[in-house]
């Protein structure tokens, strides 16, 4: 089983501009090679594989990974359709509510599982299906569904936190699924001790992404985060063991992005006052240990990091 690896923040801070550029390039190449390996396995065994199921915790880069796998499959001549399980959410008024009144979005019960199974079966056996689209602004399904076709021999690429849940992944769709679990496996260290672990790395990814995609701020992200951490050990992480492959979605340079984009967000929230002041101050202080600041413009346009930083 793959284990976490480390990047000393002292090493990152010592890099000059040219070396930072080289670190970006080498990190991107390593991730692309992981994706190509997956696509090649599917393409070489297309008589077996009908699905690629991509799971992982929030902030793990599932969406970008699914898109890159789909692109590689297309380049290898394999027709494919990408499906995001978030589009199968029930309407918000049908979802389970937690004790604090928030929605239990980490539960598979919030998804329309029968519709998922029916849609996948239809795509694989009848080569067409009408898929829902979920509108997060209204909390309901869009009135305009998505009509898709997948010809014989095509591959269905599915991504979502519950993609490896047996209620979805173990159904007999008539084609074998390659199961992937995506997550960052990098920890930043300082003086030999963990400075930023993989959980905080995912949290730092969520803050700039949610600011753009969900009009959120660090306060709102941290309010949701406590439910995420409470649910993951029971509802998502156990299915990691069911994966055929684990994909490391971390990039050695990414802390330098958060120094530039997340630290000012935290500074503003701390200035305004927050009930999560302790955690915000902790993250702010940790980001201050990185003296390298990287612009998203210095990152390739197809990088996974663009899923989280859209500036």
Q: What is the mean pLDDT of the chain?
A: 93
Nearest to 160, CA basis, from 223, 105, 222:
105
Q: Is 271 exposed, middle or buried (0-12, 13-18, 19+ CB in 10 A)?
A: exposed
Average pLDDT value for residue range 151-180? 90
Classify domain 5-307 at the CATH superfamily level: P-loop containing nucleotide triphosphate hydrolases (3.40.50.300)
DSSP bridge partners of 208: none
Tens digits of per-residue pLDDT, 20-76? 999 999 999 999 999 999 999 999 998 889 999 999 999 999 999 999 999 999 999
Q: Is the predicted pLDDT of residue 292 greater than 90, yes or no?
A: yes
* 261 contacts: CB under 8 Å, gap ≥ 6: 208, 296, 309, 311
Spell out the domain ranges in the chain: 5-307
Supply angle C-alpha 166, 172, 174, rounded to 5: 140
Per-residue confidence (pLDDT) for residue 226, from 0 to 100: 86
Question: Is 150 in a helix, a strand, or coil?
Answer: coil
Q: State how far the Cα of 174 lies from the Cα of 125, in Å rounded to an integer.
A: 8
Provide the angle, in degrees to the nearest 10, between the axes of the packed helices 277-287 and 254-272. Answer: 140
Inter-CA distances, 288 with 13, 177, 282, 308, Å: 11, 43, 10, 20
């Amino acid at each position: 089983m793959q284990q976490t690896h480390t990047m000393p923040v002292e090493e990152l801070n010592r890099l000059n501009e040219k070396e930072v550029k080289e670190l970006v390039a080498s990190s991107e190449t390593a991730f692309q090679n992981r994706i190509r390996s997956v696509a090649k396995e599917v393409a070489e065994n297309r008589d077996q594989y009908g699905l690629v199921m991509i799971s992982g915790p929030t902030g793990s880069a599932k969406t970008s990974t699914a898109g890159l796998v789909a692109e590689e499959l297309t380049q290898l001549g394999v027709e494919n359709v990408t499906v995001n399980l978030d589009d199968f959410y029930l309407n918000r008024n049908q979802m389970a509510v937690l004790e604090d009144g928030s929605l239990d979005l980490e539960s598979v019960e919030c998804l329309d599982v029968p519709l998922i199974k029916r849609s996948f079966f239809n795509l694989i056996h009848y080569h067409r299906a009408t898929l829902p689209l979920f509108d997060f602004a209204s909390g309901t399904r869009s009135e305009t569904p998505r009509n898709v076709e997948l010809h014989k021999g095509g591959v269905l690429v599915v991504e979502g936190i519950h993609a490896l849940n047996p209620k979805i992944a173990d159904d007999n769709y008539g084609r074998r699924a390659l199961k992937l679990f995506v997550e960052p496996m990098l920890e930043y260290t300082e003086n030999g001790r963990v400075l930023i672990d993989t959980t905080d790395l995912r949290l730092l990814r969520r803050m700039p992404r949610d600011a753009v995609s969900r009009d959120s701020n660090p306060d709102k992200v941290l309010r949701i985060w406590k439910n995420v951490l409470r649910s993951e050990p029971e509802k998502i992480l156990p299915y990691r063991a069911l994966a055929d492959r684990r994909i490391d979605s971390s990039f050695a340079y990414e802390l330098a992005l958060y120094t530039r984009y997340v630290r000012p967000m935290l500074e503003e929230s701390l200035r305004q006052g927050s009930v999560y002041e302790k955690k915000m101050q902790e993250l702010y202080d940790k980001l201050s240990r990185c003296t390298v600041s990287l612009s998203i413009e210095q990152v390739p346009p197809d990088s996974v990091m663009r899923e989280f930083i859209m500036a």
